[in-house]
Structure 1
Amino acid sequence: MIRFENVSVTYDGAYEPAVQDIDFTVPEGELTLLVGPSGTGKSTVLGAVSGLVPHFTGGTLRGRVTVAGRDTRTHKPRELADVVGTVGQDPLSHFVTDTVEDELAYGMESLGLAPDVMRRRVEETLDLLGLNELRDRPIATLSGGQQQRVAIGSVLTPHPKVLVLDEPTSALDPAAAEEVLAVLQRLVHDLGTTVLMAEHRLERVVHYADRVVLLPSSGARPVLGTPPEVMAVSPVYPPVVDLGRLAGWSPLPLTIRDARRSAGELRERLADIAPVNGRLPHGDTSPRKDPNPRPEVPAPRRFLRRRTTRTAPDTSTPHPAAAVTALAVHRDRVEALRHVELTVTPGETVALMGRNGAGKSTLLAALVGLVEPTRGSVRVGGAVPHRAAPRDLVQRVGLVPQEPRDLLYADTVAAECAAADRDAGAAEGSCRALVSELLPGVGDDTHPRDLSEGQRLALALAVVLTARPPLLLLDEPTRGLDYAAKARLVSILRALAAEGHAIVLATHDVELAAEIAHRVVVLADGEVVADGPTADVVVASPSFAPQVTKVLAPQRWLTVSQVREALSS
């Protein structure tokens, strides 16, 4: 169905190809997963299938890509629309209409399908993706995960033969991700749809794949094979594979069920060992009673040393970094939050979790003053965020939004850094020093739009950190990050917490919460339904438990690093 023949793509102005020597076939009715570190060209490969590369992106494509017999060099994206449905990393860029139901119908209208066919397919898709309650909602009022489901639905309704998906579960909560992947599997198995997908969260998708294509970062030829074959040699792999490698299991497990079947001996070895953790909430020097603490990963020395121009947050007093009391927020006709209570102390990392649309982003917006409480109060460092002057607020709280590009408006990295220094009242070069550490090798003249999703996140984080805010807020910070980039982010956030910064992150990444969070707060329908130590909350939750917890239950382990440390001690 899809054929790559010695394909190389070089973008205008680039010195090296984005991808080269790509040669593989995706048969009809298979789900093929593209994996590899960030920057290896996965999005470029996907774009070449839909014709966006090179017709929309520019550049030079050498070799040949055919889809259902059509050469993408001679067929523009609109000439492939009846065959290929595409969802990119940014669902907002796909939307044409204003409401959910209209968006699901738009693609079929463009193809001239009969009204009765359109109506039936819209209803089927609303049910498949759990969107029925949102059918009349304006798309602009949906959460990021809800928008992603709408984007996927909009390409399903025309019934394309090929689906091309770039990180389709990145903004979805665990339950919604399972639902979407189950739908894709049904389309593959029952209807013969061909799916080519790129995804960094391999723990969610690798066991659904028929085959995996690994794009190495060294410029070597792609590796093609079954999921177990590729995971055995891949530099990127999910925690369950990492645990299998550590324990020496063969074959490597891809699912929790397979791993549990092999884990009996490992559970016996760990039975009399308690997880060890050197991290405590900032200012707490007493032994921690948490029965499942997490191991410490040393923070980058340069990051810790750099605090020379600003005073570290004062953690000698018990004043909270943020205090939310009986908070209610109404947005349009939706009660986004109701009676929310939350206190965050200096040096504490709190993970906000919950279904898409539960109110996580709204709570972050209230903490940074972007929305005004309907009832209740919000205080950050003694200030009321929505009433504080911007120059004062930026010294107290910083938000890295779900779409980092919302913070980036200049034409170059250098201009972004200069603006960040001015806005924060920081010494000249402060932001650039942060960028050099987070994004080594990125030049001053680079346009932010030319960065990858993960690189844009790092740049936005540097812009926010220039003001050294005592409270740092992050909304889905691991979207677009591979496992290595996520590990660097974890180290940086741990270093900030050690310095006394309070961190609140809204995330669907249960593995990230297990690695870094002291507390997990679960929201549902705008209300707090759980708030406690990470282990206490996630171990008891089938949805929010990380892979290691599920494999080694009833023991209370959270991460592979915990297990590795225990076995080596």
Structure 2
Amino acid sequence: MICFENVSFQYESERHPALREFTHSIAKGELVLLLGPSGCGKTTITRLLNGLVPHFYEGELKGIVRIGGRTTTETTIQSLADIVGSVFQDPRSQFFATDVTSEIAFSCENAGLPRNEIHRRVENASRKLGIESLLGRSIFALSSGEKQAVAVASVYAFAPSVIVMDEPSANLDPMATQKLREIIQALRTDGFTIVISEHRIHYLTDLVDRAIFIQNGKMIQEFQKDAFQAITNAEANKLGLRSFYLDALPVPNQPSFKTDIVALELEQVTAGYTAQQPVIQNLNLKVNQGEILGIVGHNGVGKTTLLETICGLQKERSGQIKFHGIHLTPKKRIQETYLVMQDSDYQLFTESVESELLLEHENDPEAIAKANGILQNMGLDELRERHPASLSGGQKQRLSIAVAYQKNASVICFDEPTSGLDFKNMLRVRNLFQEMAAEGKTLLVISHDYEFLLATCQRVLCLFDDYRSECFAVTEQTKEHLADVMQMR
């Protein structure tokens, strides 16, 4: 079905090849998982499959890629779309319509299929993937998991032979990830050939037929199903991969920099967009200086609204928010806090990675020294002259976190800081968070990343649909409770 013959590719703006002498075949109906650290070449392989390389991303391509008997360099990207469907990390990047039904129908309409056939395919795709209840709804009203399901349904309806997914679980909560697993299982049962590039592997361990480990653009090892499932968490981590089995994760001993000083206090806070029902109601919370607090709850429960309110980007409807015992207005809170958003593109403004870190402090020797150190620690040193827009998703995330480190804010909030990161870079973020805590900063971290929460946070705040909340310490004794409230199982 798919054949790579000695394929190498070097992007036009890069010094080194992204993929080197890659030779591999994938049979019809197989599910193959691409593994490896960030920047190893996984995404380039997915782009070679859907034709984005070389038809959109320019560079030097050597070797041959064949899909269903067609050579990709001699086939237009439009023709390749007949046999290869793509699901990206951020489904918003591939939406064309404003409602679910129209989005699922779009590719079929674009191909000029008869009206009755389009209706049949939309109904079949929505039923097969269990999203009939979403038909007719606005795309903008969907959760991240629902958007991902619609993206898969739109590909399913067009009925390609091959489906390529690039980090499909990165922005999903545990429940949505489980739903994604069920969808992938349904696609596999229907005989699709599926290629998935992914950092979070735990939900796929028993589904894959083979896994390919890639490093520095080269295939290092191929795992058959049994060998892949036999990999332990320690072996995966040694390869730079995320843990395969979350229920086997320990809570590591970690330093605590929490002091007795209450840095942030919420008293009976109610928050939410003014035209809607509040999503946070009568919340009480105390967070101490030097503490790293995780915030969990399913998509849409109000986690981001809470952080935006704490940071002064939204005004609380009622209650008080105090910093070091003093009630501050939203305008004052903006000066005391910094928020790293889930979508890094909204916060990167300058012409280079280095200038992003030195914005407004270009001639400050202390800021320059600090920036040099953080570039090294976050693995961004060789990228300092690159434009932020040219970075990968994981590199942008690390840059946004590095920018937060440069700020003088006493309370720093993060929204899904590890969603697209491999094991090594997750540890980099954890180490940086501990360094910030040691400096007396207070960190609030929204995350669906169970592995990261266990490794990083002293406590977690869990938000529920009925305005309830629960806050507890992260220990070996409470980790199963954390898994339960996150609906991991």
* TM-score normalised to structure 1 length: 0.76
Tell me which residue corresponds to 1:387.
331
- Secondary structure, aligned partner of 1:22: strand
| Residue aligning to 1:561 | none
Distance 1:244 1:89, change over 3 A: closer
Q: Find the aligned partners of 1:340 and 1:127 in 2 and give their Cα distance.
A: 39
Separation in 2, partners of 1:199, 1:89: 10
CA deviation profile, 1:19-78 (whole Å, cap 9, x unmatched): 011111111111100001111110000000000011111112211112222221122322
Take 2:361 and 2:127, find their aligned partners in 1: how far apart are those partners? Answer: 49
Question: 8 Å contact 1:129–1:180 — kept in the other structure?
Answer: no
Task: Tell me the TM-score normalized by structure 2.
Answer: 0.88
Return the offset for 1:160. 2.1
Deviation at residue 241 of structure 1 after TM alignment: 5.6
State the match for 2:169 in structure 1. Answer: 169
Kept in 2, the 8 Å contact 1:521–1:528? The answer is no
Matched, 1:362 2:356: no
How has the CA–CA distance of structure 1 residues 404 and 254 changed in structure 2, closer, same or farther, with 3 Å as cutoff? closer
CA contact (8 A) 2:401 2:417 kept: no
Could you tell me whether the CA contact under 8 Å between 1:4 and 1:22 is conserved in 2? yes
**In the alignment, what sits opposite 2:400?**
460
Larger mean CA deviation between 47-56 and 130-139 belongs to: 130-139
Aligned to 2:20: 20
| Aligned residue number for residue 495 of structure 1 | 435
Are the aligned partners of 1:203 and 1:238 in contact in 2 as well (CA < 8 Å)? no
**Kept in 2: contact 1:330–1:374 (CA 8 A):** no
Checking the alignment, whether the CA contact within 8 Å between 2:393 and 2:420 is kept in structure 1 is yes
- Matched residues in 2 for 1:344 and 1:333: separation? 28
Select 2:233's aligned residue among 226, 230, 239: 239
Q: Does 1:100 align with 2:44?
A: no
1:198 equivalent in alignment to 2:138: no
Q: Which stretch shows the higher mean deviation, 337-346 or 12-21?
A: 337-346
Greater Cα shift, 523-532 or 65-74: 523-532
Distance 1:425 1:126, change over 3 A: farther
Q: CA, structure 1 residues 544+215, in 2 after alignment: closer, same or farther (shift >3 Å)?
A: farther
One-letter amino acid of the counterpart of residue 60, structure 1: E
Cα distance between partner residues in 2 of 1:131 and 1:344? 40
SS in 2 for 1:10: strand
For the 8 Å contact 2:280–2:467, the answer to whether it is kept is yes
Cα distance change on mapping 1:420 and 1:79 into 2, 3 Å? farther
Matched position secondary structure for 1:481 = coil
On the 8 A contact 1:241/1:254 being kept in 2, the answer is no
Give the drift of 1:545: 7.4
What is the CA–CA distance in structure 2 between the aligned matches of 1:105 and 1:280, rounded to whole Å?
53
Tell me the distance in 2 between the aligned counterparts of 1:364 and 1:169.
23
CA 1:340/1:148 → structure 2, altered by over 3 Å: closer, same or farther? farther
Give the fraction of aligned pairs with identical amino acids, expressed as a percent. 30
Distance change in 2, residues 1:443/1:224 (3 Å) = closer
Q: Distance in 1 between matches of 2:365 and 2:238?
A: 49
SS of match in other structure, 2:151: helix
2:206 corresponds in structure 1 to 207
Matched, 1:512 2:474: no
- Aligned-partner residue type, residue 326 of structure 1: V
1:282 maps to a residue whose letter is K
Q: Deviations over 1:437-457 (max 9, x none)?
A: 323532442111222222211
Higher strand share: 2
- 2:259 paired residue number: 283
Contact kept, 8 Å, 2:18 with 2:40, in 1: the verdict is: yes
**Aligned partner (choices 284, 288, 292) of residue 341 of structure 1:** 284
Distance change (3 Å), C-alpha of 1:210 and 1:126: same
1:77-116 deviation line (CA, Å, top 9, x unaligned): 2212221111222322212122333322222221233434
**1:240 offset after TM fit, Å?**
7.4
Question: How many residues are matched?
Answer: 484
Unaligned residue ranges in structure 2 (runs of 5+) = none
Q: Does 1:323 align with 2:266?
A: yes
Structure 1 residues 471-482: aligned runs within 5 Å: 471-482=411-422
- For 1:243 and 1:471, the matched residues in 2 are separated by 31
Q: What secondary structure does 1:207 align onto?
A: coil
Deviations 1:337-372 (A, max 9, x none): 344333322111111112222222222222222223
Corresponding position: 1:226 with 2:224: yes
**Cα deviation, residue 216, structure 1:** 2.0
- Distance in 1, matches of 2:342 and 2:209, equals 31
Structure 2 SS opposite 1:202: coil
Shift in alpha-carbon separation, 1:444–1:542, aligned structure 2, 3 A:
closer
2:291/2:437 contact within 8 Å kept: yes
Matches within 5 A, 1:388-403: 388=332, 393-394=334-335, 396-403=336-343
The corresponding residue for 2:41 is 41
Would the alpha carbon gap of residues 490 and 61 (structure 1) be closer, same or farther in structure 2, given more than 3 Å must change? Answer: same
CA shift for structure 1 position 177:
0.8
Contact 1:203 1:239 survives alignment (8 Å): no
- State the SS of the aligned residue for 1:325: strand
SS in 2 for 1:485: helix
1:112-168 CA deviation, whole Å, 9 max, x = no partner?
334344344444544555655554554344444443333333322322221100001
Match of 1:73 in 2: 73
Describe the superposition over 1:502-545 as per-residue Cα deviations: whole angstroms up to 9, x where unpaired: 11111111111111111122223373443212246541255567
CA distance in 1 between partners of 2:402 and 2:254 (Å): 27
Give the whole-Å Cα distance in 1 for the aligned partners of 2:321 and 2:125. Answer: 40
Aligned-residue CA RMSD in angstroms?
3.4
Of 466, 477, 480 in structure 2, the residue corresponding to residue 539 of structure 1 is: 480
Deviations 1:192-249 (A, max 9, x none): 10100011012222322110011123x54442231443577xxxx773766999xxxx
CA contact (8 A) 2:199 2:422 kept: yes
Question: What is the match of residue 404 of structure 1?
Answer: 344
Q: What are the equivalent positions in structure 2 for 1:33-182 lying under 5 Å apart?
A: 33-126=33-126, 131=131, 134-182=134-182
Kept in 2, the 8 Å contact 1:530–1:537? The answer is no
Check the 8 A contact 1:240/1:256 in 2, yes or no. Answer: no
Confirm or deny: 8 A CA contact 1:201 1:238 kept in the other structure.
no
Counterparts of 1:423 and 1:24 in 2: how far apart (Å)? 51
Instruction: Indicate conservation of the 8 Å contact 1:174/1:543, yes or no.
Output: no
Contact 2:271-2:305 within 8 A present in 1 as well: no
* Separation in structure 2 between the aligned mates of residue 135 and residue 333 of structure 1, nearest angstrom: 23
Matches within 5 A, 1:228-307: 228-229=226-227, 239=233, 277=253, 279-280=255-256, 282-283=258-259
Query: Secondary structure at the residue paired with 1:39?
Result: coil
2:357 paired with 1:413: no
Q: Secondary structure at the match of 1:79?
A: helix
**Comparing 326-335 and 483-492, the one that deviates more:** 326-335
In 2, Cα distance between the equivalents of 1:130 and 1:518?
Answer: 38
Between stretches 38-47 and 456-465, larger displacement belongs to 456-465
| Contact preservation (8 Å) 1:359, 1:526 | no
Mean alpha-carbon deviation: is it higher for 66-75 or for 333-342?
Answer: 333-342
C-alpha distance after superposition, 1:373-431 (max 9, x if no partner):
3444444554646333xxx724x211111111211122212332332537999845644
